Every structure is written in structure tokens, then in C-alpha cells.
A and B are shown apart, each in its own frame.
Chain A
Amino acid sequence: MTVPGRVSSSVPRSGAETRRHAGLRLAAALLAGVVAWSAHGIAQAQGTPRTGGTLVVGQYQEPTVYDPNRQYSWETYRVDKHIYESLVAEDLSRPAKDGPPPLVPALAESWQVSDDARTFTFKLRQGVKFHDGTDFNAQAVQFNVRRYTDPAFEFYDVRAAATMKPVYGNLQEVKVVDDHTVQFVFKAPFVDFPRLLPQGNYVSGIFSPAALKKYGQDGLALHPTGTGPFKFVERVHGEKTVLVRNDKYWGARPYLDRIIFRPIPDDATRLAALRSGEIDILTRVPADAADGLESGGYTVRDSTTAGQLFLGWNFRNEFTSKQAVRQAILLAIDREGLARTIFKGRAVPSYSIFNIGNTAYDAAQKDFAYDPARARELLKKAGYKEGDVHFTIITDVANQPSVEWIQRDLGKVGIKVNVISQEWLTYTSKLANLAPDTGLFTMEWGFVTPYWLKLAFDGYVITRGGGEKVVDQAIAPAIAKAASQTSERAAVAAWKSANALAQRDAVFLPLVTFRNHFANSQNVQGFNVPAQNFYDLSKVWLKK
């Protein structure tokens, strides 16, 4: 190897000189060697991904069904977003601190929005094939959309239609302009439409029409066929879902050979599985475990994702239907203390239905600060004595500690709370029909788009809560106005005003946003948790 700056000479020198030169040369050689070796090491740790290996992800819930138009949980989307792609995607490789992930082209190379935000024209990527070999084109997209919007369509599906309604309820028509151009026309302005395409709920993942025709409406979930970087291999309920790399993928080739998703609902067992190496990525890190994991050499990812833990009201309950009571309750709960104590700082208190990471989030827009004295005043003014107000809070087992915290805080202002905590599935059945003595129910959800306010209002205030007549009548029109804006900037401003009204009337009870959802072993590289509820595994690779 050449020593930098030195030219070897064939002229013999004196003994001492030769020795000195030799010494310098040796030193330089060593130095160069060290530099080269550490450079290689750095490259190894940072950027030379290794192709191959099987990644195992530990999930906290069993996924629902792998049918983009019928599924409804984040854990499901975390799996099948690698199978089905939408026209538009989010850049999930951006770290959480960068804020909401920007929209990038996926199956559509580009798109245009009309001035009135009612018409969306997508130019589709060419040469893309579904996993079963059939072509992806505008006809395929139209087939997909007609499945859940056109009752006259041969392959119309009631369930899919019901699920996709929040996004496509206002669709006027979907046109095939040519083989690679498709156009959506809505009856009203719909600025958020592109953003909603790749979300975990109501996802417009494109499936292969041939697959639907072959396997039927129910069968599609058993043979998920999309265009994504991974292909479906098999699913065993309660055990695993196996994906394999799609070697014919139109985009960057993924590194992993296989991904296996394992549902392990029990927190303790899931944690033990990570520590014993049975899983590589842990979903839903218990707050108490985070410190131990970090000191154990695991990486606990910091990200406020795009959801939060909040509570919805039962507006038919005799107490929570009163604005004064709702406001008092919000004043009485020490959300800061909850985040600090129960979650050991691994959560941030939330004072708005817009979670951190939402494009309309404004840290200054808070509903009520912790003030138990004022809570007592409000209750007294409304004519309630100590112990008069009593109701039930229903929750799933995972959020029981937070609800018990609320129970104690409300007890301090004279409100008596009864808690019912159940397994997730049993809990969701209780949600369908809220008992009259139920005052609040827990929910974890959220979106990156401010359209979330409308979804939350329609779903939890009107439908679940029955609050149409009870709440401030100005909220619904404000929301409608925000939804019908034609520019993003005007929309965000309008959403914020609507939110202000909602906050004043206390139609939601935001609680906390979890900061550490995922943890992984050191073997996992390239794993990023963006400010979203899901991740992209196509860029992940394993060290060994």
C-alpha cells in the first residue's frame, strides 16, 4: 500500500535514514489500516445493508382480515401495507421528529387536484404487476372502487361499502380516462382525499381484480394479492402471518427474505419473547419496561405516532350530557401527572383531539388546564353536591391503569366512578350499545390528517355517543365548513376553529399520547418509526 505523501525511492539511503523511513512507513501503514478498518466498521453499522434473513415482529393484537376494504385495526395494516399499495404513499422513512410524513407517489406517479378540490386525476405508474401476474392499470383501480361504491356492480360488497363510506361517501364517479389515468370526482370539495388513501383505516389499498373474481369476497382476505414489496405466504390464526419478498417489485428491492408477524396479546409474554430473542421488534412497549429494555441494550423508539388515548362521552347519560359536568371532569384530571407517574414520562399529556403529529395540531390550543378547585366550583354551580354525580367508565384491560387514575382524580372532586375493564373484544361489544350508566369509554385512535376531527365527531360524538342534540350546535357546521375547503391552508385554519368550538364544549376527553410504542433488538437495522401509526419494513435489514 502506498504511504500517502511519500514516494518510494530506489536510491539506497543511510542505515539510520532507512530505519526511520521504514518506521514511518510502518506507522503510516498501521494508521491507514486502522482508518480503513474503522471505516469499514462504520459502513457496516450504518449503511451496508445485508440481504436476507427473517424478521419476526411481535404484535399486541391478532390482526383482523387482510382485506383493505374490510379491515379496521392498525396491527392489520402494519402487515398488509406491505402487500397492498395505494395510489399515494407516505414517506415513512422520515423520523418522527420531522413531523407528519409527506405524501409521495406510489402506484400513481403524479396527481392533480382541480381548483374546486372536487376532481382528482392520477397518472398511474406503468409496467406494474400484481403478485398474481395480472396488470395494474386504471381498469383495476376502477374495479376496486366500484366494489365499495357501486351497488349495481357485480362485485359490489356490502361490508366493504360500509367500511369505506367515510372516505367515498361523497364520490360522484370514478372515471377511466385511459389505461394509465384515472379520475375521481366528488360531490363536494375533499382536500384530504389523497392523504386518506394510505391510512390504516378505510385504506384504499389496491387489490388484484383477478384475485377477487377467483376467490370471492370472503376469499380475498385469505389470498391477499396486491402490488407491494412483500407477498403473502400464509396465515395461521393465533400463530403467525408469513410474508415473503416480492422479487418482481417495481420499486427498491427489500432486503429481508421473509417477515413473520406473531400476535402475542399478553404483555409479559411478548416482552419475554423479545428478551429471549424470539421476536425482533416489539409492538406496544409497556411504560414500565422501557427503562429496563434500554439498559438491556434494546432500542426503544421515540415517536408520538399519530394517535392518542382519549375518552368519548355517552351523551345519553344524565350527568355527562351536561356541559358543566364535562368541563368539570376535564378540569379535574391531572393529565400531566398521569403521563409522568403511570407512564414514567413515556407519554405526553394531550389537551386536544388533534394529536401531536396531526397537520392541524397546535400546542397552544388546549382545552382545559388541571384545576380541581375550579372543577368543584363548576359542579357546585350546576347544583351537584359531593357524590351526586356517579357513572361508569368502560375500558379495555390495557388502559385500565389510566382509567383508575381518572377514577381517583374524579373522586377528589366528589364524582364517584365505577370502572369496568374487559378484554379488547368483549370491550368492543360493550361499545356497540352503551349502557345508560356509562359516562365515558376509552379509545385509541388518531390520524395525521385533520379530517380526523370529522371522523371522530361523526363516530364518537354523534353515532356512539348520541350527542347530536346535546352538543353545541355550531360545531357540526364548523366541521362541515372545514371539510369543504378547497385549499390545504384554508382547511387547516378552518379545522382549528372547529376544534376550538369542540374543545370549549368538551365533546372529547383527550388523555395522553404514548411516546414509545416500539422496541427492537440490536440486530434490526434500518427500522424507523415515523410520526405515524405504522412503519415500512421494506427498508429494514438484519445484521446477522
Chain B
Amino acid sequence: MTRAIVYRFLQAIPIFLVVSVLVFLIAHAGDGDPVTNALASTLPQESIDAIRKEYGLDQPVLVQYALWLEHLMAGDWGTSLVLRTPVFEVLARSFGNTLLLAAAAVAVCLAGGVAVGVLSGLKRGSWIDGAAMLVIQVGHNFPVFWSGLLLIWVFGVRLQWFPVSGMYDMRGDQDWLDLLHHLVLPAIAAAVISMLILAQLVRAQVIDIMGSDYLRTFRAQGLPRSLLLRRHLGRNLLSPVINVTGLQVGYLLSGVIFVENVFNWPGIGTQLYNAAAGKDYPMIQAGVMLVTGCFIAVNLATDVALDLLNPRLRNGGGPA
């Protein structure tokens, strides 16, 4: 069991390296470089060359990559070419903000997905079932940049129930309550995309359980439906929910850039977008590695959790 986990972990390392090379190559492809972008004014060629030399951009790409890797091993993530600040500081903060948003979105997604799934499953076949699933389906296919804007317009500008941008009220205390207030709209916007699959899953499970023999036996004996549901649903749902949530986190992170854009959430999505546009190599490199690392970690955790829950594997069987 532990061997399987360690094996999976080791498998992740070459993936990591290959991704780093890919990113380096893609980032350096195409024209433009951070020097002329950063200065964005009309400087004579000697000045530009001098600055390029100072940043080490005049060396061949392979050498630059080797240097970067060397620094990374030593724990130095590099300095942003555009912002002139250590990359780690900037990324750690923005990545943290993104994770916060993603976590909130996952929470909303879980709550909403499970709730709708249970409701639909219990009321299967009725108009409630159809309507609820339809709403979730529409939400799933709704472009998040549009739903975000609608949320801002309705709840932020017209009703003024929630703030429209950023993480905190600039003038306020910036405590966690303020943060929650700012999280609501973006989390909902991000969560709606992923609720569908979860809701479908939960609904199917509810239907299965409700139709199973033992449940009908218990019901015939007069036990309340809700009690039975709670007991059996939880156990049976855990595995698929973890699985789907694991997948959705990756999907969520990818879609979060849209939400960050619309809600002006200072996360890693916009950071990386600007870095890519400005050809800020160290930032792009470190940022992508961070996000990819997170992906890999989440996938790993999901796999491990599923393995733990899978009795067959626990007894030493091979992967399914």
C-alpha cells in the first residue's frame, strides 16, 4: 500500500521536469522579450542590449534553463524581470488567494451539488427533479465570465448586497468576515460550473440506494427515510465524491482565471496572464510549475484517498 503511494509519488517527478522544460520552451518561443516590454518606451539599441545582458537574456536558451534549474534546486525561485521583486513572494501570495477562492468554490460546489442531487434523487421523476437538474445543467454550460458579470450587476451594483471586486474592503478592517463577504459571488460563479457532475453522481447514488433491497426492508419496518438516507448515502458517496472533486479542483483552477478577471480577485491566474504577456520568464516558469505541482498533488491525493477507500487495494491487489 505504502509502496503504491510512493510509486505514484515518484512517477510525478519526471512529469514535473518535463512540464518545466515544456514551459521554458513555450515561454521563450515567439518574439518579444521582457526588456523591451518592460521599458515599453523608445530606447536606443545599446541600452536595450546592456539591460538584456544584465538579466542574462543574451545566453542560449539551454544555458538559461540549466541556470534556472540550478537556482530552483537551491531554493531560489528567481526575480521577476518585470516587477523586480522575488518571484516567490508575489506568487505565494497570489497563489494563496487563488487557493482560497478555489476552496470556497469547492465548498459551494459540494454543498450545492449534494443538495440538488439528494433533492432530485428523492423526488425522482417529478418536475422538481427535472427542473433542478435543468438549472444545474444550464449553469454548467454557462460561460463563467458572463455569469460572473451578471452576479456583479444584479447583486453588487443594483441590490448592493455584495461587493463587486477584490478580496477586502480597502478602508475596512480586512478581517475574515470581510473576506467571506467578498468570497460569496466569485465562489458561486466558479462553483456553478462544476456542480453538474457532482449532482448527477449524488442523484444516481440516491436512486440506487432508495431502490435497494435493504432500504426497502428497513422502510417496511417503519424507519424514517431521512435517517436511512443519511447513513447509507454518506458511506457510498464518499468515494465517487472524492474522485469527482479531485477532478473538478483541477478544472476549477483552470477556470478560475476567468473568475479572477471578472471579479478583480488578485490570484495567480491574472498574475500568470500578465507574466505571459510581458514575457516575464521567471514568473511564468515558477507560476506554471506551482499550478502544475498543485494539480499533480491533488491528483495524487485523490488517487491515494481512493486507494485507501478501496478494500481490494488495501489487501495488496494491483491497480484496477
- At the interface, yes or no: B132 with Cβ under 8 Å from chain A? no
Residue of B nearest to A462 (CB): B42
Q: Is the CB of A269 within 8 A of B40?
A: no
Cβ–Cβ < 8 Å partners of B254 in chain A: none
Which of the residues A201, A276, A459 comes within 8 Å of B156, measured between beta carbons? A276
Task: Please report the C-alpha to C-alpha distance between residue A18 and residue B303 in the assembled complex, in whole angstroms.
Answer: 99
Minimum CB–CB distance from A310 to chain B (whole Å) comes to: 14
Contacts of A428 in B (CB 8 A): 36-37, 40
Confirm or deny: B64 has a beta carbon within 8 angstroms of a beta carbon on chain A: no
Q: Are B44 and A237 in contact (CB under 8 A)?
A: no
B41 touches A273 (CB 8 A): no
Assuming the contacts A158-B47, A432-B32, A459-B42, asked whether A273 and B165 have C-beta atoms less than 8 A apart, the reply is: yes
* B171 CB, nearest partner CB in chain A, Å: 5
Rounded to whole angstroms, the CA-CA distance of A272 and B279 in the bound complex is 31
On whether the beta carbons of A238 and B266 are closer than 8 Å, the reply is yes
A301 at the interface (CB under 8 A from B): no
Total residues of chain B contacting the partner, CB 8 A: 50
- Identify the interface centre among B37, B41, B43: most chain A CB within 10 Å of its CB: B41
Q: Does A476 contact B (CB under 8 A)?
A: no
Quick check: is A210 within 8 A (CB to CB) of the other chain?
no
Q: A487 an interface residue at 8 Å Cβ cutoff?
A: no
Among B33, B153, B170, B274, the residue within 8 A (CB) of A425 is: B274
B171 near A54: Cβ-Cβ < 8 Å: yes
Q: Are A275 and B157 in contact (CB under 8 A)?
A: yes
Quick one: CB contact mask for B135-165 with A, threshold 8 Å, 1 for yes? Answer: 0000000000000010011001100100111
Q: How far is the CB of B256 from chain A (nearest CB, A)?
A: 14
Name B274's closest neighbour in chain A (CB-CB).
A425
- B interface footprint on A157-179 (CB within 8 Å = 1, 0 otherwise): 01101110100000000000000
In chain A, residues 336-387, which have Cβ atoms closer than 8 Å to a Cβ of chain B?
none
Contact partner of A262 (CB less than 8 A), chosen from B170, B271, B277, is B170
Given contacts A56-B170, A272-B156, A429-B277, contact A264 B47 (CB under 8 A): no
A345 CB, nearest partner CB in chain B, Å: 25
Kindly state whether residue A278 has any CB partner on chain B within 8 Å: yes
A7 within 8 A of partner (CB): no
How far is A278 from B162 in the complex, measured between Cα atoms in Å? 11
User: What residues on A are CB-neighbors of B83 within 8 Å?
Assistant: 65, 237
Interface string of A39-76 (1 = CB under 8 A from B): 00000000000000010100000101100000011000
- B70-86 vs A, CB cutoff 8 Å, 1 = contact: the mask equals 00000000010001110
Complex Cα distance, B278 from A521, in Å, reads 34
Asked if A126 is at the interface (CB within 8 A of a chain B CB), the reply is: no
Chain A: interface secondary structure?
helix
Residues of the B chain whose Cβ atoms lie less than 8 Å from the Cβ of A236: 93, 266
Contacts of B239 in A (CB 8 A): none
Q: A201-B41, A238-B266, A429-B279 are in contact. Are A158 and B50 (CB under 8 A)?
A: yes
| List of B residues within 8 angstroms of A459 by Cβ | 41-42
* B262 within 8 Å of A (CB atoms): yes
Q: A134 vs B81: C-alpha distance in the bound complex, in angstroms?
A: 31
Residues on A with C-beta less than 8 A from B93 are 236
A429 touches B278 (CB 8 A): yes
Please state if A269 and B263 are interface contacts (CB–CB under 8 Å). Answer: yes
Interface size on A, residues (CB 8 A): 51
Q: Is A221 an interface residue (CB 8 A)?
A: yes
CB of B209, distance to nearest CB on chain A (Å): 45
A430 contacts B by Cβ under 8 Å: yes
Given A159-B51, A433-B31, do A269 and B164 touch, yes or no (CB 8 Å)? yes
Question: Is there a chain B Cβ closer than 8 Å to A496's Cβ?
Answer: no
Does A240 interact with chain B (Cβ within 8 Å)?
yes
Q: Name the distance in Å between B157's Cβ and chain A's nearest Cβ.
A: 5
- Chain B residues contacting A165 (CB-CB under 8 Å) are 43-44, 47
Contact check, B32 vs A433: say whether CB atoms are below 8 A apart.
yes
- Of B152, B171, B270, chain A has the most CB atoms within 10 Å of the CB of B171
* Least CB distance, B281 to chain A, in whole angstroms: 13
Contact assessment for A460 and B42 in the assembled complex, using a CB-CB cutoff below 8 Å: yes
Does chain A have a CB within 8 A of B166? yes
CB neighbours of B157 from chain A (8 A): 272, 275-276
On chain B, the residues within 8 Å of A240 by CB distance are: 170
Chain B residues with Cβ below 8 Å from A239 are 166-167, 266
Instruction: Tell me if B54 counts as interface (CB < 8 A to partner A).
Output: yes
State A56–B157 Cα separation when bound (angstroms): 18
Q: How many angstroms between the C-alpha atoms of A273 and B266 in the bound complex? A: 15
Kindly state whether residue A468 has any CB partner on chain B within 8 Å. Answer: no
Cα A73 to Cα B278 with chains together (Å) = 15
Residues of A within 8 A of B58 (CB): none
A463 touches B166 (CB 8 A): no
In the complex, chain A residues 252-283 whose Cβ is within 8 Å of any chain B Cβ: 260, 262, 264-266, 268-270, 272-273, 275-276, 278
Nearest B residue to A459 via CB reads B42
Determine whether A245 belongs to the interface, using a CB cutoff of 8 Å to chain B. Answer: no
Cα(A262)–Cα(B163), bound, Å: 15
Task: Report the separation of the CA atoms of residues A56 and B93 in the bound assembly, to the nearest whole angstrom.
Answer: 22
Interface status of B261 (Cβ within 8 A of chain A): yes
A458 adjacent to chain B (CB < 8 Å): yes
Q: How far is the CB of B115 from chain A (nearest CB, A)?
A: 30
Tell me if B41 and A163 are in contact (CB < 8 A): yes
Q: Which of A422-438 contact B (CB under 8 A)?
A: 422-426, 428-433
Task: List residues of B whose CB falls within 8 A of some A CB.
Answer: 31-33, 36-44, 47-48, 50-51, 54, 79, 83-85, 90, 93-94, 149, 152-153, 156-157, 160, 163-167, 169-171, 261-264, 266, 270-271, 273-274, 277-279
With A237-B271, A266-B264 already in contact, 19 other A-B pairs whose C-beta atoms are closer than 8 Å:
A62-B274, A72-B39, A158-B47, A162-B44, A162-B47, A163-B41, A165-B43, A218-B79, A239-B166, A262-B166, A264-B264, A266-B262, A272-B152, A272-B164, A273-B164, A276-B163, A426-B277, A431-B36, A433-B36
Closest 5 CB pairs of A and B: A459-B42, A429-B32, A162-B47, A432-B36, A425-B277
- CB-defined A-B contacts under 8 Å, sample of 29: A54-B170, A65-B84, A73-B40, A162-B39, A162-B44, A222-B84, A222-B85, A236-B93, A236-B266, A237-B266, A237-B271, A238-B94, A238-B266, A238-B271, A239-B167, A260-B170, A260-B171, A262-B170, A264-B165, A268-B149, A272-B153, A276-B156, A276-B157, A278-B163, A430-B32, A432-B33, A432-B36, A433-B31, A433-B36
